[in-house]
């Protein structure tokens, strides 16, 4: 799922291309994409784009008259920019937004349709959609600490909770926790002040560094948005060496997600129980990184 760095780059490129442009036509090609009926989507046509914003992991096209088009890419949704008159890709296209400057295309790979589009009547409706998480890049340490300790959950769960923190998901939470050298299953209220400060610094550093990296790689448009990058320390790198200590990166698999971590750097060598695999292996489940063959 595109997270804060990816969405920020999308927003910057859209702002450069669309501010002041008129949305001439909207075509919704999949009935499951549009999640609002009032106002009707046709009311967005003929309106000028007054700005582009990020709302968590959502992209907001602000239109004159106060209306807002809100795009949530979810896991497999992506945006493409085509020159005016160019043909969008076939089956994966969910919607097209035709401007005088070109066409914005919303695609989604795979068979599951999770991406969404909302047309909101005004800023009040947009505010109601905001889950309330703080932007860590604009927060100070006391504000970050207060959010972190508002609920007693694991660090992984808290960092990815949109009611607490804006725009952080599975990929960058792995990278943040590795940078801070903290266990993903450590409880938030168990952190001391030094650990909280380390997590705050790591969060800001990782998000800033990756935003800069993706901004530089994007060129005119970010065509290759992915949650997996070879330069990442642990995310998506199960079994590969940790760039800090060389130990093999470990993982915890649950539902459609997984958490990647370095046992030596983050958990004092302890291997965290994988809900499925450790139950299967039971007594044979290794407890420490040094127990691995």
Query: What is the pLDDT, as a whole number, of residue 288?
Result: 65
> Is the separation of the CB atoms in 79 and 105 below 8 Å?
yes
pLDDT attached to residue 215: 97
| Segment (H or E) for 9 | helix 4-18
CA–CA gap between residue 210 and residue 204 (Å, rounded): 10
Higher pLDDT, 256 or 153: 153
H or E segment and range at residue 11:
helix 4-18
**Cα angle 113-68-136, degrees, rounded to a multiple of 5:** 80
Measured distance CA(71)–CA(77) in Å, rounded: 9
| 189, pLDDT greater than 90 | yes
Helix/strand/coil for 91:
coil
Q: Taking residues 173-184, what's their average pLDDT?
A: 98
SS3 208: helix
Q: What pLDDT does residue 290 have?
A: 63
pLDDT at 281: 38
Contacts of 216 (CB under 8 A, 6+ apart): none
pLDDT of residue 123: 96
Give the residue from 144, 213, 139, 143 showing the smallest Cα distance to 172. 213
pLDDT at 278: 44
Q: How far apart are CA 90 and CA 153, in angstroms?
A: 43
Q: What is the pLDDT of residues 193-251, one digit of tens each?
A: 999 999 999 999 999 999 999 999 999 999 999 999 999 999 999 999 999 999 999 99
Between residues 276 and 208, which one has the greater pLDDT? 208
Distance (Å, whole) CA 9 – CA 216: 9
In this structure, the chain runs to a length of: 293
Q: Which residues contact 290 (CB under 8 A, 6 or more apart)?
A: 269
- What's the burial of 192, exposed, middle or buried (CB within 10 Å: 0-12/13-18/19+)? exposed
The tens digit of pLDDT for each residue in 103-147 reads 999 999 988 889 999 999 999 999 999 999 999 999 999 999 999
Q: Residue ranges per domain, the chain? A: 4-129, 136-291
**Average pLDDT rounded to a whole number, residues 89-94:** 92
For residue 4, pLDDT beyond 70? yes
Task: Give 124's contacts (C-beta < 8 A, 6+ positions apart).
Answer: none
* CATH fold for the domain made of 4-129: N-terminal domain of MutM-like DNA repair proteins (3.20.190)
Q: Name the least confident of 4-13, 70-79, 269-278.
A: 269-278
The answer regarding whether domain 136-291 maps to CATH 1.10.8.50 reads yes
* Residues 237-273: b if buried by 16+ CB within 10 A, e if exposed: beeeebeeeebebbbbeeeeeebbbbbbbbbeebbbe
Helix (H) or strand (E) holding 93: strand 93-99
- Tokens standing for residue 169: 């998901």
User: DSSP string covering 105-136, please?
Assistant: EEEE-SS----EEEEESSHHHHHHH----B-G
pLDDT at site 148: 96
At 66 the pLDDT is 97
């Amino acid at each position: 799922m595109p997270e804060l760095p990816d969405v920020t780059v999308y927003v910057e490129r859209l702002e450069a291309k669309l501010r002041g442009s008129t949305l001439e036509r909207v075509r919704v090609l999949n009935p499951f994409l549009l999640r609002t009926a009032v106002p009707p989507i046709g009311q967005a046509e003929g309106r000028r784009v007054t700005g582009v914003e990020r709302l968590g992991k959502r992209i907001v096209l602000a239109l004159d008259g106060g209306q807002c088009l809100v795009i949530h890419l979810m896991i497999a949704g992506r945006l493409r920019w085509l020159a005016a008159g160019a043909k969008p890709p076939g089956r994966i296209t969910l919607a097209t937004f035709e401007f005088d400057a070109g066409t914005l295309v919303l695609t989604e790979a795979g068979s599951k349709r999770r991406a969404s589009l909302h047309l909101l009547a005004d800023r009040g409706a947009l505010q109601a959609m905001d889950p309330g998480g703080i932007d860590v890049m604009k927060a100070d340490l006391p504000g970050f600490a207060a959010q972190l300790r508002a609920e007693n959950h694991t660090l992984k769960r808290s960092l990815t909770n949109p009611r607490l923190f804006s725009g952080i998901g599975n990929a960058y939470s792995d990278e943040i926790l590795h940078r801070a050298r903290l266990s993903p299953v450590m409880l938030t209220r168990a952190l001391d002040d030094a650990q909280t400060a380390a997590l705050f610094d790591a969060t800001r550093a990782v998000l800033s560094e990756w935003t800069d990296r993706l901004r530089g790689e994007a060129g005119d448009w970010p065509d290759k948005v992915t949650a997996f990058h070879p330069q990442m320390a642990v995310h998506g790198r199960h079994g590969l060496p940790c760039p800090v200590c060389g130990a093999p990166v470990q993982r915890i698999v649950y539902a459609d997600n997984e958490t990647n971590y370095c046992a030596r750097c983050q958990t004092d060598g302890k291997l965290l129980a994988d809900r499925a695999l450790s139950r299967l292996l039971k007594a044979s489940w290794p407890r420490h990184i040094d127990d691995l063959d």
